[in-house]
Structure 1
């Protein structure tokens, strides 16, 4: 039992944090919030996937990506393409010049569905594409850069540039992507209306379940040998290279994993919100996603979720109450986080949560390690 808890949660403190997060998002929030606010929280939780991915590649791997919106957007566009094709049946588009294709294609005088849209008629292929396409794109980027030892601030700037290029490309190819408006008017998933309150309620719980699974899988990575190599790579990259490890391959792997996690969040965002546009792909949303991880704590998977919830809730509250000042208030929130708790919310918990941890240790005692276990020997 002790080994399972350490492997999945990083100890009793991690278990307690995971349980508290699960209770908050699965029980407390659905109980106290109305349908509209709960849908907003569901949208915030889709951003939490990106924050968790940044904990992996930035917090533990030392790879600061300013282009995670790329993978969030690609996952969202894959899901949006499937939903748009379902909404563009010949019966629903009978008034168009060319029935059976999305409306924005008809407006741009396309007369046939492009070849790269056709696989998205299939839901299984779409689900595969949501993971495979962003991962493949991340592999191309990381392979081209890490194999040439491009890293640090240069890598961050390049990912930012790629996000900007992809946004321009999506907007410019309006007939194929929907342009600046994106892909809108998404209605059903395999005949199930995703616009109803009941559907949004169910999609919220699906998002929560996927997020908790992603946190557990991420924890498994971090507690494995790869996790130790990531920390060593972050702190002493040259020593890792001189020790015979292929540093580039480790970076490529964790960057691809982070891309896949971000893509899952993008797909769930499309399902919950009902559209996808290039405004979620570019530089500004990518930087905001870094802020989620920074505020929550870039070394904490659980903290990243709270960071995404806090920043987005503050953004919504400020924009509703102070529509002309909310950008300044958001900037002030980030500056305060950097100045007063640079390790994020997780750092505050580590500093002031000792009484709580003592209570947990008292209430949840675990069997002591035998004196000859590997953990004890390694500690010596």
Structure 2
């Protein structure tokens, strides 16, 4: 006779506690830009540096969430998500550079003695067109790449190597001055966005709140997908793709959808990253950036949605401290962190917390 399944008090309180913690974090994030608007001599004032740093980490958290959707749920380890993030950033950067240049050419084009804008820069003075590029460029690239990769049934380490090669090729392309994207220096010296000074406290506050809204929306979308039939098919695809195909499902469409959606989320994160940080260059496409994103997900706990956000916060918080105190040791610390997580925390920080709650 089957025994009824009983839940411990900790297991019953788990979801409620998660909602409470998320609500508290959201309240703090919403309060930060409001406190930034206070006078600088106020005890509760949040500095521009702090707001920018947290805003940057939130953008990275969106990338971690996007990567978790394809790696944690669909089993597709991408080592090229930095490319989609950078493409969204460059699309926004083109608009910001046109705003700074007015009726003339962007400063780097004048320096290189260009006489006119390249054809792919046309329309970038429009914010709406720039936002279309933010979504369409990484989305279309991911769709085309995924269509051929999934049709050829490329998966596992071969898929990861191909994504890494893709982002490396993109980095080499954008490093060249003749491509029209600022070469090694990229885009910087932004001044206005939608007619507002980009360095004004109110503008910074709005950009930060927009980032919080995108992160919250992405988390909700991911949660809805994960708890739907689509999410169950994804996890089945991750765990036993051959059995799923035997049941009559075609995994290619599911992979392509979640892969393209993930790329679009990265592009949106990049578009919000650029005006807050004030620069975008090809280094954001470096393979090490995408590998670091995989570390965020692994540290937090893949396939959990919340875990990658936590992992992105921990790693980038450590990076901000290490690159100031011990810059030459950061990569060693990152490597050691990945080894420790692989050996002792296979389910990440979230897995550790859940295990403690079950005890």
With normalisation by structure 2, the TM-score equals: 0.89
Number of aligned positions between the proteins: 337
What 5-or-longer segments of structure 2 have no aligned partner? 1-13, 36-43
Quote the residue 1:78 is aligned against: 91
Q: Deviations over 1:177-202 (max 9, x none)?
A: 10011011111102101123342233
Match of 1:57 among 70, 75, 86: 70
2:158 matches 1:154:
yes
Greater CA drift, 55-64 or 312-321:
312-321
Greater CA drift, 224-233 or 107-116:
107-116
Q: Deviations over 1:191-216 (max 9, x none)?
A: 10112334223322221111011100
2:359 matches 1:346:
no
The 5 A counterparts of 1:1-380 are 12=16, 14-27=18-31, 33-90=46-103, 100-174=104-178, 176-354=180-358
2-structure distance, mates of 1:251, 1:13: 32
2-structure distance, mates of 1:223, 1:61: 14
2-structure distance, mates of 1:203, 1:282: 26
- CA shift for structure 1 position 174: 4.1
What 5-or-longer segments of structure 1 have no aligned partner? 1-9, 91-99, 356-380
2-structure distance, mates of 1:181, 1:303: 34
How has the CA–CA distance of structure 1 residues 338 and 24 changed in structure 2, closer, same or farther, with 3 Å as cutoff?
A: farther
- CA shift for structure 1 position 175: 5.3
How has the CA–CA distance of structure 1 residues 193 and 270 changed in structure 2, closer, same or farther, with 3 Å as cutoff?
A: same
Quote the residue 1:369 is aligned against: none
- Is the 2:32–2:51 Cα contact (8 Å) retained in structure 1? no
Partner-residue secondary structure (3-state), 1:120: coil
How has the CA–CA distance of structure 1 residues 326 and 32 changed in structure 2, closer, same or farther, with 3 Å as cutoff?
A: farther
- Is the 2:173–2:179 Cα contact (8 Å) retained in structure 1? no
Greater CA drift, 167-176 or 250-259:
167-176
Greater CA drift, 141-150 or 116-125:
116-125
- CA shift for structure 1 position 321: 1.5
- CA shift for structure 1 position 339: 2.5
Partner-residue secondary structure (3-state), 2:124: helix
Greater CA drift, 295-304 or 252-261:
295-304
- CA shift for structure 1 position 137: 0.5
